[in-house]
Structure 1
């Protein structure tokens, strides 16, 4: 899978100590609130370790003591400051944390809202340079901005977005999905998730994705084979 995430959390304070405190509540109605007009159907439950970046039309939710964690591509935006107002309203004044990362494009985006106000948003990729850079950097960011985490090979940015992305993932969610875990990290495979299929009933969204894929394949051309 590589370093990929599509995570959103609503939490009363620090999320990390809550991740291993599940409560027995079915989050289907909350999934419907976040995806109005979509068909929401329960699927088999799973764990966070396998689903930091779930497939299209799939949403996983951990219902925790004082928090909810969503693994859902539709809830991650570039730049993060585009998060819709309806999502912030669903958080009901709690802290909102968004974390998105994709190893194919080296994209990183994360953001935090407190009481509905955006306090930090960052979006970086080597192709696009910088997107959002709003608010005061967190402590875990400072070594990167100070030049203490340079990329050894030539690279368009002074540090690698995915390395910062792992630092952000640990700071906000208490674990990493690439690299060596620390002794204090949470084991994401122990975090239980409720699974849902969330589909556009009109089929429009699925058709647009298929059209975009076909256009990409047209541009890159047929597979090439080489002999040494």
Structure 2
């Protein structure tokens, strides 16, 4: 899976319904939304993108949009936070009665999401095969049930080899991530689309270059995630190599 996201959606109700008809955005309002989320940063307009392409912006860019009943922000800076610990000013920046946070990264299989209703956190989940379950707050939603019940296990890949240890989690985080995205935003990044999915390629986002006052660059987040994934692969390879050298092949 190659899906990546770092996104907040603010809505007055069902964000998917609002996004279904979202075809034009107010770039001034979008810039103001980013400025409230990243106070003290320089926000400069740049190339726009569609929602489907913009959930994980390129280095140094952010995407945002303000529509009737829904606002969207895509920013790698969001991935620095545990979902339950997003700053209050961020949660209040877009208005609306519901805030949906969604972040996933295919290099390290990290997935996090959270939902706030009228300012109150009702669900937060963050997990990865490397770190395990980092936080699990609130009652799971219905779409999560098959995953927690063991009905969506990660099947062994023939390319892993016979000595490859089983996947560390009972399900693949990115598969759950796609279900969460569909449940709260009405579309998926990978997998088979449903007939009534939001056409995320038709939803426009305004592009902005956002620079922190200290000059920090969002590319470091990508590097850190890739380093974590590489370290995990190295540990797994070392364990397998050690077992083979001892003759403990399991046969």
Q: 1:183 aligns with which of 167, 173, 195?
A: 195
Q: CA RMSD in A?
A: 2.2
State whether residues 153 and 172 of structure 2, in contact with CA within 8 Å, keep that contact through their aligned partners in structure 1.
yes
Are 2:130 and 1:131 aligned? Answer: no
How far did 1:90 drift? 1.8
Provide the rounded CA distance (Å) in 2 between the counterparts of 1:207 and 1:180: 31
- Offset at residue 23 of structure 1 (A): 5.3
Deviation at 1:167, TM superposition (A): 0.6
Correspondences of 1:1-228 after superposition (within 5 Å): 2-19=2-19, 20-22=21-23, 24-25=25-26, 26=28, 27-92=30-95, 94-153=97-156, 154-203=166-215, 205-206=216-217, 209=220
> Displacement of 1:160 after TM fit?
0.6
Judge conservation of contact 1:3–1:102 (CA < 8 Å) in 2. Answer: yes
Measured after TM superposition, the shift of residue 103 of structure 1 is: 0.4
Mapped contact 1:8–1:76 kept (Cα < 8 A): no
Which moved further from structure 2: 68-77 or 11-20? 68-77
In the aligned structure 1, how far is the partner of 2:45 from the partner of 2:9?
Answer: 20
Cα distance in 1 for residues equivalent to 2:84 and 2:112:
10
Q: Is the 8 A contact 1:97 1:111 kept in 2?
A: yes
CA contact (8 A) 2:11 2:96 kept: no
Q: Distance in 2 between matches of 1:74 and 1:128?
A: 20
Counterpart of 1:225 in structure 2 is none
Distance in structure 1 (CA, Å) of the matches to 2:37 and 2:84: 17
Q: Deviations over 1:80-125 (max 9, x none)?
A: 1111111122244521100000000001000000111100000010
Structure 1 residue 24, shift from structure 2 partner? 4.8
CA contact (8 A) 1:78 1:123 kept: no
Counting matched residue pairs gives 214
Q: In the alignment, is the contact (CA less than 8 A) between 1:96 and 1:112 conserved in 2?
A: yes
Match of 2:162 in 1: none
Question: 1: CA distance between counterparts of 2:83 and 2:181?
Answer: 15
Kept in 1, the 8 Å contact 2:24–2:204? The answer is no
Question: Structure 1, unaligned stretches of length 5 or more?
Answer: 221-228
Give the Cα–Cα distance (whole angstroms) in 1 for the partners of residues 98 and 13 of structure 2.
7
Q: What SS does structure 1 have at the residue aligned with 2:217?
A: helix
Distance 2:74 2:201 in 1: 14
Which one has the bigger helix percentage?
2
Displacement of 1:78 in angstroms is: 4.3
**C-alpha distance in 2, partners of 1:102/1:174?**
19
